[in-house]
Chains A and B, each alone.
Chain A
Amino acid sequence: MFGLEKRDYTLLIIVACLTMFAPFILNPFPTDSAMAQFNAGYPDLMQRFVIFGIFAIGFNLLFGLTGYLSFGHAAFLGVGSYSAVWMYKLLGYNILPGLFLSVIVSAVFALLIGYISLRRSGIYFSILTLAFAQMMFSIAYSDLIGRFLGTTITNGETGLQVYNSDPQVLHSASKPDIPHLFGQQMQSTYSLDIAGWSFDFNTGYYLCALIMIAAFYIAIRIFRSPFGLMLRAIKTNQTRLNYTGLNTRPYALAVFVISGMYAGLAGGLMACMDPLAGAERMQWTASGEVVLMTILGGAGTLIGPVLGAGFIKYFENIFSKINDSILHQWFAFFPDGIEDAVVFMIHPFIGKGWHLTLGILFMLVVIFLPGGLVEGGQRIGKLLKRGKKSEDKGDGDAASTPAE
């Protein structure tokens, strides 16, 4: 169905179900329980899950397929955000023109940066993309172009936002003063209270989720197309590809642009959830984050980047919220001295120290599961299968096709 093989179709259905029922899945604990702080089902965080999911899916098309490690993908994220906010300023709060422009503008930037950066490969390519991203960050942060032209383009450190004095030619009094899609406000949330649980259904989240499912579907199609085959061939042997009559450069450039458009779309969606665009979105740490997400989840696999994005965003938001007083609550059953000692030991790994936890987890994954979380899943799957097999005393080797 939809031109997909059965296995990919199943995967698409799983992703669709997970995102559609995310408000339930991410809120497993009753609101008043002590475990409630592990709930991730609030709109703001759920939006970030899927937006960074889109970002990582796009990044994986480039890195996972061709092996070209871009270290400046956040530049496109920032460009997408700025484009969307400019559409709010000029046209009005409907998000469609903004999303459209963010994809187009990031494609143009990706074409320029990719055209130059793809002249080199390996580490030199990474450095070139990093240099471009840092230049764009500096330009945005000091609003260099804006000052040169005597106007504002990025509004420097303050960040770009909508003011009352902006033209907003399509805006009228009947329309909401916040981002909306034909009147449907992105911020509107419906809370469903059942017994002790509270589930939030947010318009913005569902919009992002639908877009992510579409983005995921397109990614599957690219993976399974002759175009995707050529991209994987670039990763394994460019010499053979050249001597087989194929020009590698346009293939790499095309996927660089596609990947940039995914990033731009993610940036545009960020501005849809919160009508602001700041230069910090383009900083190299943001570029590094998407690399981490993709590798952690499993580069070159379909579902990996989505898992990686969810994993990192979850830890960023949940671990950073835990503080010493919460720890004291947890370990209150210990005698006083031991309680303090345990809290002292765990203290560096929580709150602001969540990066430390993430670093350790990242190391563990890279050392023991080089294929990322997806490989972990496959190993568990294999173990279960083997367990079943030995029970049935059935023989025959399972054709080990990598599940993606």
Chain B
Amino acid sequence: MAILEVRGVNKRFGGLQALGDVNLSVEEGSVHAIIGPNGAGKSTLLNCLVGKLNPDSGSVNFDGQSVLGRSPHEINQMGISRVFQTPEIFGDLTVIENMLIPCYARRDGAFKLNPLTSMRKGGEMQTKAEAMLDDVNMLDKLHMQASSMSRGDKRRLEMAMCLVQEPRLLLLDEPTAGMARADTNNTIDLLKEIHAKRDITMAIIEHDMHVVFSLAQRITVLAQGTPLVEDTPENIKGHPKVKEAYLGETAE
């Protein structure tokens, strides 16, 4: 069953057709990669899914409900979490405080006025946050200021913050961008482990073919705002249209 259904989505910025009639469906429990050359509209598509942009036409349904016209926080509360290309974390706060925020967000909803309740050590939320940090091997950095960590750790923290919310769909925007090969492999292992353990549906936007082919079960290739093909990694590898989009073979 498809958990995310994108039907006939169009988005235009002035004279530029960023997305033209995009159809996409992500099966529940799968890892779905969206690839394409620069300017193919991958990030625009992602922004349409999380409420940052509103498509000019078309529909985006998550679990049977439309996400269009909703703000990012409402969409997150529906069960979609997003990992950014450059890690978006709370730099001034400590690692554990970073983790507590999504925990409270899941428990209390988008807004709760509770200025006089205290955040006790060893409370339910604290235990949950620490267990998640343990899962990503960051328990030793509990009281470190988030902005002082390495980029890889920031990325891991951001993923942990998304995962602790137990999302039904995790969107990853180039999770290995700018990483060294060793870090990239670590991230692949981490994502594999997460997928195996938690059975979360993932949609990954990625440049790096190595990452895509080692993770994804289905791949959609975007070029100039429209999906070229959607198939399994094996079939995509040798697909002539994909080669054409990436290497521009027709030009010769």
**A contact set with B: CB distance below 8 Å:** 3-4, 218, 221-222, 224-230, 232-233, 235-237, 239-247, 250-251, 254, 258, 399, 401
Contacts and interface: CB of A to CB of B under 8 A. Distances in A.
Nearest to A223: B115
Q: How large is the interface on B (under 10, 10 to 19, 20 to 34, 35 or more residues)?
A: 35 or more
A47 to B, nearest CB: 27
B203 to A, nearest CB: 15
Given A230-B104, A232-B92, A243 B72 contact: yes
B119 A225 contact: yes
Q: Which of A221, A226, A230, A244 has the most chain B CB atoms closer than 10 A to its own CB?
A: A244
Contact of A246 (B111, B113, B115, B143): B111
B116 A244 contact: no
Nearest 7 pairs between A and B by C-beta?
A: A245-B76, A236-B92, A247-B110, A240-B88, A245-B105, A227-B115, A250-B111
Given A227-B117, A239-B88, A246-B111, 20 more contacts: A225-B116, A226-B112, A230-B104, A236-B90, A236-B92, A237-B88, A237-B91, A243-B81, A244-B73, A244-B76, A244-B105, A245-B105, A245-B109, A245-B110, A246-B105, A247-B71, A247-B111, A250-B111, A254-B115, A401-B143
Contacts, number: 108
Nearest to A218: B116
Contacts of A254: 113, 115
Interface in B89-115: 89-93, 97, 100-102, 104-106, 108-115
Contact of B112 (A222, A227, A243, A401): A227
Contacts of A226: 100, 104, 108, 112, 114, 117, 119
Contacts of A258: 115
Question: Majority SS of interface residues in chain A?
Answer: helix
The B interface is mostly helix, strand or loop, or mixed, namely loop
B72 to A, nearest CB: 4
Given A221-B118, A247-B110, A229 B100 contact: yes
Contacts of B109: 245
Contacts of A401: 143
Contacts of A229: 93, 97, 100-101, 104, 119
Interface string B60-92: 000000000001110011000110100011111
Nearest to A226: B104
13 contacts: A228-B115, A229-B97, A236-B91, A237-B90, A239-B88, A240-B88, A241-B90, A244-B165, A246-B105, A246-B111, A247-B73, A254-B113, A401-B143
